[in-house]
Structure 1
């Protein structure tokens, strides 16, 4: 199989005065778009996993604010501002762990406040322009991150990833899978090992689908096979994404990531986290402060119409876990590589604030 880099996943798009998002619940069997023209619709799409992945959630939320402004622009100024306040609150409640959601909403809020003397129509146009800018910036950030990350992978590397940190989790290109795409575009031969990622199967349904579309060799495994492959020498590196990084470098990512990081440490395999700077939350001292979302127990009972758990059983469904900074070989950002020695020296704040553009 020859790897190529010409396939483009259009995770979300602005079309006919609305935002359209691939319904990721239907992949890989059906590729269909959900159309939203209100903040409430976008919030529901985020909450129900139509769109997922921290960067993609942030972009969608920015569009949600712009869409609500378009609905309210004919209202009196007071009604316009009150309606926007409600939209910000609604979107902020859609998912608690992904910090990009709050980063994007804060950026839209700061702009909105700076424009408060203007008429609603003018504010609306500026908010939509800002949402478009956030969309385009995310793709540029992922491409820059991919180029840095590609330098860490040797030619012929067998790389494991967990969940989906691809184009589907972003506005395009991807974070962890963006590293793979960039490495292939640079002429490196890679093979990807995708963990299926219970219980929502993002690895099996989404990561495997993306790699197949792009003809990048991919092997799907169940999550509990990861240790065996590391032990038998089948893995050269691990690259994952993240939904939030605390100030000390602790990383929150899809449930199961911590287990993989521990195994990687045991087997002396580098464990890299592809991390846009917008995902670093300097307001939280450690990973213990990161809110962990508990999702619907029906996701663990079965999948779609197939139910395998007995009625009456107690179920837990934390969607994320936290990997301590000492298990992270490096963070891959759009401004360069933050190595573990810098994380452990508590330099993350200065790296984030002082990195050259």
Structure 2
């Protein structure tokens, strides 16, 4: 692989992130030395994708502890401040809060900088293993020849490992399946056209970029075996928040008899949120809609509304592909059973 999404540089206690704002034209890295800088990188989408955001935030907490210890400052106030800054960076991806809560459980129990750094590195390794397990469960249900429909970017750029939904596509190709993928361009930031195609070109996976509005037409006129997307949060009933346009894709899939799957690390499951109506949807600046590549495409002074995510109702989802197995309806029952049994003793994934 010619790129690495993130790397911890121990000698300088910096987090090196691939700056995804400039892909695919420029592969450029940023070295971030403070939790405030990490929060800024999450907010401006230097780093993006729920798994990568969570791990980045964990390293931001470790940085806060290392900086405080090196300066001889009290640890708890520094960690409380870093936690607050990182929590405010983006609202929708539950991995951010999952990672910060996990780190907070340690520092509130008295963990020092070395322990916090070790935990962030554990999360990094876990994400790699989770990605591989998701792909393995998906491979078990894929035909030898498979055409996918994919939205946004959910590959190695969105994670530490191979990624979630795009990781499935990549691993299917590498396993010798005859794979083709349609990639939604994913307006307004074009993560499908810019990032997913960048990755599939790197891996040699046959694909085509299509405009977001073409999904229903393609599913009606051409063979599509499966739509597979990632997620930023899954409510207790299986409603799923993901990049804006996912709901449209799910509706097109249902109308054309195409099974719609969500690649879903267990860290994105939020049992505290009963349904999708309780998921906060990030709204971003209007210029993302009004300009493409810095070039204005709308009349001067035209208004825009820019929700960054939408929620796909559980009724449109065939299954949630997790690292523990594929969860099928009824999601309210089977998600709880999955999490209760994720240590391997009892796992119920539905029929």
TM-score (norm 2): 0.95
The one-character-per-residue Cα deviations of 1:175-220 (angstroms, maximum 9, x if unpaired) are 0011112212322110111000000000000000000000011111
Offset at residue 356 of structure 1 (A): 4.2
Please give the alpha-carbon distance, in whole angstroms, between the structure 1 residues aligned to 2:251 and 2:55. 32
Instruction: State whether structure 2 residue 148 is matched by structure 1 residue 181.
Output: no
Instruction: Indicate if the aligned counterparts of 1:252 and 1:320 stay in contact, CA closer than 8 A.
Output: yes
Residue of structure 1 in register with 2:15 after alignment: 19
Instruction: State whether structure 2 residue 26 is matched by structure 1 residue 55.
Output: no
Q: Of 262, 278, 288, which residue of structure 2 is paired with 1:299?
A: 288
Please give the alpha-carbon distance, in whole angstroms, between the structure 2 residues aligned to 1:198 and 1:24. 16
The one-character-per-residue Cα deviations of 1:296-338 (angstroms, maximum 9, x if unpaired) are 1110011232111112222100000000001000000000011
Please give the alpha-carbon distance, in whole angstroms, between the structure 2 residues aligned to 1:356 and 1:71. 35
Alignment coverage as a number of residue pairs: 342
Greater CA drift, 195-204 or 10-19: 10-19
Following TM superposition, the consecutive aligned residue runs of length 4 or more in structure 1 with deviations greater than 3 angstroms are 74-77
Q: Which has the higher contact order (CA 8 A, sep 6+)?
A: 1
RMSD: 1.3
Residue of structure 2 in register with 1:211 after alignment: 200
Please give the alpha-carbon distance, in whole angstroms, between the structure 2 residues aligned to 1:244 and 1:255. 13
TM-score (norm 1): 0.93
SS of corresponding position for 1:296:
coil
Instruction: Indicate if the aligned counterparts of 2:76 and 2:107 stay in contact, CA closer than 8 A.
Output: no
Instruction: Indicate if the aligned counterparts of 1:10 and 1:172 stay in contact, CA closer than 8 A.
Output: no
Residue of structure 2 in register with 1:337 after alignment: 326
Structure 2 unaligned runs (5+)? Answer: 345-351
Residue of structure 2 in register with 1:31 after alignment: 27
Instruction: Indicate if the aligned counterparts of 1:9 and 1:167 stay in contact, CA closer than 8 A.
Output: no
SS of corresponding position for 1:73:
helix
SS of corresponding position for 1:347:
helix
Instruction: Indicate if the aligned counterparts of 2:148 and 2:225 stay in contact, CA closer than 8 A.
Output: yes
Instruction: State whether structure 2 residue 62 is matched by structure 1 residue 66.
Output: yes
Please give the alpha-carbon distance, in whole angstroms, between the structure 1 residues aligned to 2:71 and 2:198. 45
Offset at residue 153 of structure 1 (A): 1.9
Residue of structure 1 in register with 2:212 after alignment: 223
Instruction: State whether structure 2 residue 206 is matched by structure 1 residue 255.
Output: no
- For 1:97-112, list aligned pairs within 5 A: 97-112=92-107
